[in-house]
């Protein structure tokens, strides 16, 4: 059997999240490249029920798949919410047959202008209704803490409230330390608190740019200080190893807490994105770094 990338600590399989560039849309070509370069798994989008057949047939694993109609799942419109739950129930069943049990989501509201406390009540209602469909197949939603417009589950207080109010084992975390670092939240302390809810990991890092922070601070955007693709004035997302994250420490915690999942590189780095050669290099550099952690 061909050896694939795994982390040094924990022996966690290493793969990547499928992107939208032309070479990644060519699934057959993507699979051939992935296998020849020792990747173990691929994260998929809403086409997972179809694309996943090829992934599994090629001998790779599916890391996560994107939940369908995420905003509708937490809609204030009960009919819209029910329709989204029903569609996801069928999707979850189809994906579970392929061994895919992690359903990726970011929790963004339909109406970001509404009070966050009111929007959070809708999150609780939607997740309570979704949980039985996940539990039926031993699956879980893995929520990534991207702090997008009106984000409702991206920091310790909101994750903690979700797990308290919806204690189903189907409620989980996609651990992406880059977002925590960007927000000023200690990613290691977060993992110590929430490791038991982590079912998938994104291999993505974040660089904090101290000179730019001095120039513009946290509160204002820069006028003369340039911003960054996949970032802002004072931070930018990077491949693993090019940012602030303490990966060996994180993997040690996950190993100690019995983590059984994978690590998928989410490539968002201005130094690599934008060309086939650059993106492939970024994925390989990231995988080699993680394999040494």
The whole-number average pLDDT for the span 278-288 is 98
Per-residue pLDDT at 219: 87
Q: How confident is the model at residue 220 (pLDDT cuts 50, 70, 90)?
A: confident
Q: What domains lie within the chain, and their CATH numbers?
A: 14-207+238-291 (3.20.20.150)
Per-residue pLDDT at 166: 98
Q: Is 96:149 a contact under the CB 8 Å cutoff?
A: no
Bridge partners, residue 102, by sequence:
140
Residues of the chain with pLDDT > 70: what percent? Answer: 99
pLDDT in tens, 162-218: 999 999 999 999 999 999 999 999 999 999 999 999 999 999 999 999 999 999 998
- Residue 275 half-sphere exposure, CB side, CA atoms within 13 Å? 5
Could you write out the three-class secondary structure of the chain? CCCCCECCCCCCEEEEECCCCHHHHCHHHHHHHHHHCCCCEEEECCCHHHHHHHHHHCCCEEEEEECCCHHHHCCCCHHHHHHHHHHHHHHHHHHHCCCCCEEEECCCCCCCCCCHHHHHHHHHHHHHHHHHHHHHCCCEEEEECCCCCCCCCCCHHHHHHHHHHCCCCCEEEEECHHHHHHHCCCHHHHHHHHHHHEEEEEECEEEECHHHHHHHCCCCCCCCCCCCCCECCCEEEECCCCCCCCHHHHHHHHHHCCCCCCEEECCCCCCCCCCHHHHHHHHHHHHHHHHCC
What is the phi-psi region of residue 265: left when phi exceeds 0, alpha when psi lies from -120 to 50, beta otherwise? Answer: beta
Q: How confident is the model at residue 2 (pLDDT cuts 50, 70, 90)?
A: low
| Residue 3 in this model has a pLDDT that exceeds 80 | yes
Identify the residue whose tokens are 């890391």.
63
| Residue 29 in this model has a pLDDT that exceeds 80 | yes
| Residue 1 in this model has a pLDDT that exceeds 70 | no
pLDDT in tens, 64-105: 999 999 999 999 999 999 999 999 999 999 999 999 999 999
Decide which of 3 and 142 is more confident: 142
Q: Is 194:159 a contact under the CB 8 Å cutoff?
A: yes
Average pLDDT along the chain: 97
The whole-number average pLDDT for the span 15-22 is 97
pLDDT in tens, 118-136: 999 999 999 999 999 999 9
């Amino acid at each position: 059997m061909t050896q694939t990338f795994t982390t040094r600590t924990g022996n966690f399989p290493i793969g990547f999240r499928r992107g939208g560039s032309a070479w990644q849309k060519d699934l057959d070509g993507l699979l051939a490249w992935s296998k020849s370069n020792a990747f173990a798994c691929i994260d998929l989008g809403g086409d997972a029920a179809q694309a996943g057949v090829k992934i599994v047939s090629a001998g790779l694993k599916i890391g996560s798949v994107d939940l369908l109609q995420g905003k509708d799942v937490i809609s204030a419109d009960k009919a819209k919410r029910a329709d989204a739950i029903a569609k996801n129930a069928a999707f979850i069943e189809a994906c579970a047959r392929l061994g895919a049990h992690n359903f990726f989501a970011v929790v963004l509201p339909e109406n970001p202008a509404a009070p966050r406390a009111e929007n959070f009540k809708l999150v609780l209602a939607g997740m309570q209704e979704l949980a039985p469909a996940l539990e039926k197949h031993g699956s879980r939603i893995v929520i990534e803490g991207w702090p997008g417009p009106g984000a409702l589950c991206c920091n310790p207080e909101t994750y903690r409230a979700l797990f308290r109010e919806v204690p189903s084992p189907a409620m989980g975390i996609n651990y992406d330390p880059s977002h925590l670092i960007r927000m000023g939240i200690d990613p290691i302390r977060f993992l110590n608190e929430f490791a038991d809810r982590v079912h998938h990991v994104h291999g993505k890092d974040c660089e904090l740019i101290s000179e730019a922070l001095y120039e513009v601070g946290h509160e204002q955007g820069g006028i003369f200080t340039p911003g960054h693709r996949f970032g802002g004035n004072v931070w930018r997302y990077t491949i693993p190893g090019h940012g602030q994250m303490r990966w060996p420490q994180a993997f040690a915690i996950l190993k100690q807490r019995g983590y059984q999942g994978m690590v998928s590189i989410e490539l968002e780095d201005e130094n690599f994105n934008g060309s086939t050669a650059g993106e492939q290099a970024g994925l390989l550099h990231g995988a080699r770094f993680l394999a040494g952690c």
